Structure formats: structure tokens, C-alpha cells
Amino acid sequence: MSDFERVKYYFEKGWATAAQVRMYVQYGVITDGEFEQITGEPYAAA
């Protein structure tokens, strides 16, 4: 399972919030485009 698939799974299960997924972008685990795919929201650094 890739990092993208893992984070997406966590988000879909409700185990991670959009704010937590945003942190994965900040740490370089996923891209901002992948953030948008996972959450359906445009990425904007908080």
C-alpha cells in the first residue's frame, strides 16, 4: 500500500481529518494534488 493509498484509507474511514491529511502534504508524504483527490478540497497551507 502506497502512502497515498494509506492516507486516503485513513481519511475515508474517518481516522484522519482534512487538517491531518494537510500535515502529510507539509511533511512531503503526499502531494497537494493527492490532498485534493483524497479530501475533495483545494489544498491551501494552513
The 10s digit of each residue's pLDDT in 10-29 is 999 999 999 999 999 999 99
Q: What is the pTM of this model?
A: 0.89
The whole-angstrom separation of Cα 46 and Cα 39 is 15
When pLDDT is cut at 50, 70 and 90, the band that residue 43 belongs to is very high
Please answer whether residues 29 and 8 qualify as being in contact, where contact means their C-beta atoms are separated by less than 8 angstroms.
no
- What are the residue boundaries of the structural domains of the chain, listed by start? 3-39
- List all residues 6 or more positions away from 21 whose beta carbon is below 8 Å from its beta carbon: 7, 10, 11, 30, 35, 38, 39
CA–CA distance, 12 with 27 (Å, rounded to integer): 20
Instruction: Check whether 46 has a pLDDT greater than 80.
Output: no
Percentage of the chain lying above the pLDDT 70 cut? 98
**Are 19 and 46 spatial neighbours (Cβ–Cβ below 8 Å)?**
yes
